[in-house]
Structures are given as structure tokens and as C-alpha cells.
Amino acid sequence: MDINVVNALTYEDFVKLFGNVVEKCPLIPAAIWSHRPFKDLADIEAHIRKFIHSLPDSGKEGVLRCHPDLAGLDLQRGTLTRESQEEQSQAGMTTLDSAESLQMYSLNTDYKERFGFPFVICARLNSKADIVRQLSERLKNDRAVEEVTTLCSLRLRNIVLSDIQTKL
């Protein structure tokens, strides 16, 4: 998608198109829409990062709470967003056997009890084994360092670049 097309989007269309680049947080594209015209994709990302980093800790935690558990109830119920479904599928989270599902449930529960929000990792960039290992390791941390902005960046690229590729 050409940046001029992005800049010409109405507020409603912009929020609809980019409303899930940060999981279930349409507030974020709504907040940055007024910064148009954007120079390029990197400029959009920079505004999103700046907005997220400007949030108080409670707001940042709120963004994290919007994310589903990996291989959790949303997956089982079929209520994952399209983006999360694709990302979890690519990482092998949608094909866990019963022992792996039980392990993920236990790790997810422990993580949420410890930190107050779900474990967030860029599933698209990790294998099932990597996810389990990192989830286990992060449970030992005092405070989690999360990957929301990495997820956002990949989702933005998916929206903008997929449109360009379909025109080639």
C-alpha cells in the first residue's frame, strides 16, 4: 500500500485497517492518525512506538493484557484475531499434543500470576520449542521485557507490504 494511500485514509478507515497492529488496541492507531502525513512505514512505526513508550506503566500493562495466551482458551474457542491465529499457527502453537497443551496452560497460568498479564512473544519469529524455553526463562525474571513493538512492526509490514506484493 502506497504511503499516499495510507495518508489519504479517513480516520475510520485508518483505525479499521491498523486497529489490530497492536493486539486489540485500536486506540493506538486512533491516537497517531492526527500525525499524518506519514513519510513512510518507519514513520508510522516511530509514532506507534513513541505512543506506547509514553504510556504510564499501567497503560503499557493494559496493552499487554489485550494479548491472548499462546495456545490458550482463545485458540481453543476459535476467538483469536486473524493475526494471532496466523502467528500462533506459524509457531506450531495450533498443533500441540495434549502434553504440550497442558505444559503451555501451566506456564501461561504461572506467568500471569507472577506478572499480571499474559506472556507476549513474537510467535512469528520463534518456534514452538523457543517459545516454551523463553516462557520458562522469563518466569525467573523480576520484570518481563515484552515484544509488543516487534509484533506491531511485523503486522504493519504485513498490511502495507502485502498490498505492494499483490500488485507486482
Catalytic annotation on 53? no
Listing DSSP states for 41-81 in one string gives HHHHHHHHHHHHHHS-HHHHHHHHHTSPPTTSHHHHHT-S-
Exactly one of 35, 47, 53, 67 is catalytic; name it. Answer: 67
In degrees and rounded to multiples of 5, residue 56 shows phi and psi of -65, 165
- CA 146 to each of CA 14, 52, 121: distance values in angstroms, whole numbers, following the listed order: 26, 12, 7
In degrees and rounded to multiples of 5, residue 22 shows phi and psi of -115, 120
Just list the catalytic residues: 67
